[in-house]
Structure formats: structure tokens, C-alpha cells
Amino acid sequence: MKASAMNAFISSQTEGAVTTITLARSADHNRLSNAMAGALSAALDAAAASRVIVLRADGADFCLGRDMQPPAPGSAVSAQDVLRDDAAPMIAMYAAFARCRQPLVARVQGRAWGIGAVLAAVCDVTLATSDASFRLRELERGIPPCVAMAPLLDRMPTKALGYLVFAAAELDAAGAQAAGLVSRCIAPDALDAELQQLLIQLLSYPDDALRAVKQYLVSAPRNQAEPALLYGASLLANVLASR
């Protein structure tokens, strides 16, 4: 077993062919700072030799969003500032997820809100407890969550994504599964057993076949993903910088 701490709130542990990356900021509901996003990207890259990567979180909640406040109205913030400080760290993190050549499995409990919902959704398989919840509430703070929406475009029907954002609706796990954010809803006391069974199944396949399926899932549906992400970042920057 090999364990390492990528920063104070991101840890990585490799056991056999499986690397488990943990959001370890439970006292603050695993809110993701820019430094944590960079450390998560580094942990994903460092796990390149593993056959499967698991993304999990300590505590009651998976991730309650970003640790970043929007600029106050009237503050001297330019679009370039927003792109550098707000959008760029997320774009770099999404790129790290896209570079992964092995299946990514998310283990989700509690609230997965904001960037937490995105982290859960961008994994190839997402196992969530039946009492988990998912929400994008950025519009309540006047933030167009276009950068958060971009990775969800190939996960969710447009109507479901629009409702999630416009209504700032809280989806329960069953609703999130119906909307395409979650693969399976599982009773909390059965989550780890289900995860272990899935890992056994994944590791039973030949590695070249496993990676071929992952490559297809990444490449086939996402030809427009990068342009959509950059367009969303531009819209976000323009809105926040114009206040």
C-alpha cells in the first residue's frame, strides 16, 4: 500500500491496482479551493499507472461547492481576473480528469453541490447513497455556472440541466440518477460493499479492453466539450467583470 498527501486536504492511497483519492476537508464540508483543485489534478496524473481510480470524500458531505467568493459588485475586477482566478483552475482540473485513461469511480455521500455535483458526474461510474443530494445554486448568488455546466452537457439532457440551474433545485439521489448525474443509488450501509464488488468486476477485465472502453467513453460523445467549456468561461468572466 502506498499513501501520500497531495496537500493538506487531498490525499491519495494506492493499494494494488486501485488508487483512491480522498477529499479530506470534512470540517468545511470538503469545499474545493483552487489549491485543492490543483492537488486533485496532480493526484489524478500521479495515478496514471493504476488500473482504476476511486474518488471519495471524508465526512458527512461529498463536497459542498467551491471555497471562493464572487467579486463584490463595483469591485475593480476584469474579465481576465475572473478567467485567471475562477475559471482557469477548474478548466485545468477538468483537463486532468480528461487525461485519465482508466475508469474513474465516484463514491458519493451527503451533499454534492456546485463543483461537488460536477466532480461526482465527471467520473465514469458514480455510486451515491440513497440520501445524497445534488444541486447547482450559483444563480442564487448571481453567478452564471457555465463552467460547471460544461462538463455536464454530455451527462444530462438539456431540459434536466436547465432545470437544475434555473430552479437551483435540490435533486435527491433518485432524481440525480434519472437526470444522468448518478449511476446507482445505494443504501448508505451498503455503499462500500457495492463499491468493492464493482472494483472486483473492473479488475477482472483485461487492461487493454478496460482502457479501450474508457477511451471511447471519453472521445466519442465529447467533440464539442472543450469549445463549450471555453465559451462558458468567457460568459462567466464577462458577467462578473461587468458589475
- Report helix, strand or coil for 113: strand
Comparing C-alpha atoms, which of 31, 30, 11 is closest to residue 19? 11
Main-chain phi, psi angles of 3, to 5 degrees: -125, 145
Q: Which domains does the chain have, with CATH numbers?
A: 2-241 (3.90.226.10)
154 pLDDT more than 90: no
Total residues found in the chain within this entry: 243
Cell of 176: 440525480
Cα(153)–Cα(228) distance, integer angstroms: 9
Are 188 and 127 a contacting pair, CB within 8 Å?
no
**Low-confidence winner among 24-28, 102-106, 208-212, 216-220 (lowest mean pLDDT):** 216-220
Are 127 and 108 a contacting pair, CB within 8 Å?
yes
- 46-55 average pLDDT score: 97
Q: What pLDDT shows up at residue 223?
A: 53
Q: How confident is the model over 52-90, as pLDDT tens digits?
A: 999 999 999 999 999 976 666 666 667 676 677 778 899
- 100-104 average pLDDT score: 96
Q: What pLDDT shows up at residue 7?
A: 78
Cα(161)–Cα(166) distance, integer angstroms: 9
Cα(123)–Cα(131) distance, integer angstroms: 19
- 147-169 average pLDDT score: 93
Q: Cβ-count burial of 207 within 10 angstroms (0-12 exposed, 13-18 middle, 19+ buried)?
A: exposed
- 151-160 average pLDDT score: 92
- 153-172 average pLDDT score: 94
- 137-141 average pLDDT score: 92
Are 121 and 151 a contacting pair, CB within 8 Å?
yes
- 126-152 average pLDDT score: 93
- Report helix, strand or coil for 162: helix
Q: How confident is the model over 203-226, as pLDDT tens digits?
A: 999 999 899 889 888 876 655 566
Are 31 and 80 a contacting pair, CB within 8 Å?
no
